[in-house]
Each structure stands twice: as C-alpha cells, then as structure tokens.
C-alpha cells in the first residue's frame, strides 16, 4: 500500500464499489424465544403477547416516565438478534418550533461517532489499502510524530494531546476542519502526554487524524466517504456527517443545556471523526447488526477491535480499537461507547455474546443518560448489572 499511486487507489476503490455489500434487504429476525443471558442468566418470552413480555414493556415505560421527570429528552432502542424489543421517542427535537422527537430525528452522536470512524479504517484495512501497524506518516507526511501507527490512534495509545484543549478560534473563518487540526500538529508539534505506546489516554485528536487518513487514501471528504461506503451500503438513510458551513438538515435535533438553553456553536464543530456524525437509534441498530453479519467487516478484524489493548491499570475496563469494553472474569464481554458534545449525550451498549443491544440518544444535557443502559438491562434481564465500571462521559 505504501507505494500505491493515486491511480492505483482509485482503481482499488472501483473494485471496492463492485464488491460492497448492501444490507438494505436483510431480513428481520423473528420474535426471540428468549432474551439474552448475562453471566448465565436467561429469561424466556415466547411472543409479544406473553404476560412476562408485556410486563417488561410496562416496566420500561414506567422507568422512562421517571427519566422524563428527571429531564430526559431523546430516544431509546433495545434490540435482540435483529429484532427491536423496545423503541421510544420522548420530548422535542427543536424546542423553539415544538418539533417532536421522531424515528427520523437525527442526533449528534458525539464520541459514539468514533465507532463509525473506526469502522471506516477497518474497511480500508480489509480491502488492503492500509494496515493497522502502518505509520501515520505513510499517509500524512506532515504529521510530526514519526513512531505513531494507525493502531495507536485507534486504541488511544499515541500520547497525542487533545486538540480540543489547544486549538484556538481562527480569525479568518467560523470553523476549524480536519486539515486545520493536522496543520496545527505539524506547526506547533505539541508535546506528547507520554512516550508513544507506553500508556492509554483518551484523546479526540486520534480520531480526527484517522478521519484525515481516510480522506488521504480515498481522495474524498470524510463525509462523502462515510455516506458512500458505510451509511448507504448498510441502509443508514438518516445518518450523515455534519458540515457546519452548509445549511442544516431540518430533521436534525438542536442541542440544549439542562435549562433548555440552546448550546452555541463553536469553532471546533467542523472537526469530524472524533464526533460529528448525526444518526438515529434505528440507524445505529443497523450499524450494530451489520457488524454481526461478517460481511461488512471481516470477523478477524472485529476480533482485533474487541481485544483489550491497555493493561497498565488492572481491572475490567479496557479499550480495543475504537471501542470501550468491559471484560468480566467469567468471559462475558460488553462492547460499548458513550459520547458527549455540547448538550448531546449518547450510549451504545453491545452485549456481543448475545447480540443484545441498548442505544440511548439525548439532545438535552443529562448525565443520568449514562446510567440508563445498566438500568434497562436490569429490567429486561431481571438481575443486577451494576455498571459501576462504565465511563460515564467522553
């Protein structure tokens, strides 16, 4: 890959188009005979008319009435093996106009966007256009850190400082973009938080740089690549990457602080990869299910993504490639990613051994959103998942 010309890359992408899979026509699974186990716990629901299933839905609705009283405004989806068990939309997406939250309302995913950026890198890897252990400078020659690899960006072991903390507002335009962030690193050469690959530290810079790598290899803007090679093939029709310089999509939610005051836009809103994807709970569930298919990203690549990469601090928590995870002693693994940007809070939890998924999106700042998945799990499974180990904010 390192010696490929632009013509070769374009040719590779023509082949990519021909072999890309379309998940739009995938069939829905039947109503499950049982909901998934966690630590060997199983509950049984034969169909949606079963009393225990109805009771579970009632309990979830009751739980969300309390959440609404506590300020929750957004959407939730609980899925099992391709079947949606629970789906609700609460409150307004745009308070000023009174627009209600609907299945088509797109919400800023914040750091949950990283799972999709990671997916783009994995697609390129599976097509032979990059390798995880390639140096970043192979694709971005001005990048000033010569020993950082793509893998170290994906697992946050690069030591790169977070651009959010040092990228100042530009004088000549409203928004910085990914090229600006790359230029800042090239010019300022900020000191790494630690020597390369010696520790884990979460940094948004890693995924902004990954988006630039996608742009360099594909020859197209990140948002176009994501639409053509990720969102459209999977059928994520209500998902897009924001460009704040263009007219806003009318179905996208605004974001608010807890007092229902609009969160102002800022100069970092144009940087994507670490954030910037707008989506719905249904589209995120399509992304979730595509990962189980084995057709969109190779199982061997996902196995790497779901493997812990940092062991300096012992415990259940860890980070793979673009995914946070909880690794329990009995072998149970929870793959997840939360997010926060302005007033948006997001949760995306995947109990991968059971194909059981919980997705929560909110556009009014509410830190309690990060505790909803564990409480949803407790209601559905009828047992305790304390969730004490989760990372509550990004």
Distances (CA, A) of 345 to 320, 350, 360: 22, 17, 8
Relative to beta strand 240-241, strand 74-80 is unpaired
Q: What is the pLDDT of residues 222-240, one digit of tens each?
A: 999 999 999 999 999 999 9
Average pLDDT, the chain: 87
Distances (CA, A) of 314 to 39, 200, 209, 311: 21, 12, 29, 6
For residue 306, the Cα-to-chain-centroid distance in whole angstroms is 14
> Considering the entire predicted model, what is its pTM?
0.88
**pLDDT the model gives residue 7:** 37
User: Could you give the CA distance from residue 94 to residue 88 in angstroms, rounded to a whole number?
Assistant: 17
State the CATH architecture for 29-381. Answer: 3-Layer(aba) Sandwich (3.40)
Q: What is the pLDDT of residues 288-308, one digit of tens each?
A: 999 999 889 999 999 999 999
**pLDDT the model gives residue 28:** 33
Q: What is the pLDDT of residues 334-378, one digit of tens each?
A: 999 999 999 999 999 999 998 999 999 999 999 999 999 999 998
- Weakest-pLDDT range from 22-31, 84-93, 189-198: 22-31
Helix (H, G, I), strand (E, B) or coil at 34: strand
What is the maximum span of the chain, computed from C-alpha positions, in angstroms? 64
Q: Is the pLDDT reported for residue 81 higher than 60?
A: yes
Q: Is the pLDDT reported for residue 12 higher than 80?
A: no
**pLDDT the model gives residue 308:** 96
Closest of 111, 70, 110 to residue 90, by C-alpha: 70
Residue whose tokens read 């070769």: 8
**pLDDT the model gives residue 52:** 81
Q: What is the pLDDT of residues 26-77, one digit of tens each?
A: 333 333 344 433 433 344 455 667 788 888 999 999 999 999 999 999 999 9
Helix (H, G, I), strand (E, B) or coil at 35: strand
Query: Which secondary structure element, helix H or strand E, spans residue 78, and what is its range?
Result: strand 74-80
Q: Is the pLDDT reported for residue 15 higher than 50?
A: no
Closest of 151, 139, 134 to residue 197, by C-alpha: 151
DSSP secondary structure string for all residues of 102-148: -TT-BEE-GGGHHHHHHHHHHHHHHTTS--TTSBGGGT-TT-S-TT-
User: Do 134 and 152 contact (CB within 8 A), yes or no?
Assistant: no
Q: Is the pLDDT reported for residue 147 higher than 90?
A: yes
Closest of 258, 216, 227, 223 to residue 244, by C-alpha: 223
Domain ranges for the chain: 29-381
- Weakest-pLDDT range from 136-140, 246-250, 302-306: 246-250
User: Do 322 and 202 contact (CB within 8 A), yes or no?
Assistant: no
**pLDDT the model gives residue 11:** 37
Helix (H, G, I), strand (E, B) or coil at 54: helix
Helix (H, G, I), strand (E, B) or coil at 79: strand
Q: Mean pLDDT over residues 212-216, rounded?
A: 98
């Amino acid at each position: 890959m390192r010696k490929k010309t632009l013509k070769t890359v374009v040719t590779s992408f023509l082949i990519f188009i021909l072999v890309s899979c379309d998940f739009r026509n995938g069939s829905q699974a039947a109503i499950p005979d049982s909901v998934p186990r966690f630590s060997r716990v199983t509950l049984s629901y034969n169909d949606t008319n079963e009393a225990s299933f109805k009771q579970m839905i009632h309990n979830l609705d009751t739980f969300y009435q309390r959440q609404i009283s506590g300020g929750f405004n957004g959407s939730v989806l609980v899925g099992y093996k391709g079947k949606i068990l629970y789906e609700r939309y609460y409150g307004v997406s745009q308070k000023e106009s009174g627009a209600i939250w609907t299945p088509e309302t797109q919400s800023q995913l914040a750091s949950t966007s990283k799972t999709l950026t990671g997916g783009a890198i994995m697609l390129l890897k599976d097509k032979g256009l990059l390798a995880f252990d390639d140096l970043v400078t192979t694709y971005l020659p001005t990048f000033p850190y010569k020993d950082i690899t793509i893998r170290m960006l994906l697992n946050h072991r690069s030591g790169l400082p977070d651009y959010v903390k040092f990228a100042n507002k530009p004088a000549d335009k409203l928004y910085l973009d990914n090229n600006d962030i790359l230029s800042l690193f090239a010019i300022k050469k900020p000191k790494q938080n630690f020597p390369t690959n010696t520790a884990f530290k979460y940094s948004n810079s890693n995924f902004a740089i990954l988006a630039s790598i996608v742009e360099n290899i594909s020859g197209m803007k990140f948002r176009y690549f994501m639409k053509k090679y990720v969102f459209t093939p999977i059928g994520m029709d209500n998902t897009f990457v924001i460009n704040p310089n263009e007219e806003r999509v009318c179905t996208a939610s605004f974001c608010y602080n807890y007092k229902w005051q609009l969160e102002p836009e800022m100069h970092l809103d144009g940087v994507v990869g670490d954030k910037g994807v707008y989506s719905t709970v249904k589209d995120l569930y399509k992304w979730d299910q595509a990962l189980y298919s084995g057709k969109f990203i190779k199982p061997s690549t996902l196995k790497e993504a779901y493997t812990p990469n940092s062991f300096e601090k012992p415990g259940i928590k860890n980070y793979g490639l673009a995914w946070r995870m909880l690794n329990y002693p009995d072998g149970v693994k929870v793959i997840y990613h939360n997010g926060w940007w302005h007033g948006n809070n997001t949760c995306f939890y995947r109990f991968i051994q059971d194909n059981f998924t919980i997705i929560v999106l909110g556009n009014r700042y509410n830190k309690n959103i990060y505790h909803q998945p564990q409480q949803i799990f407790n209601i559905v499974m009828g047992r305790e998942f304390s969730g004490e180990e989760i990372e509550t904010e990004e």
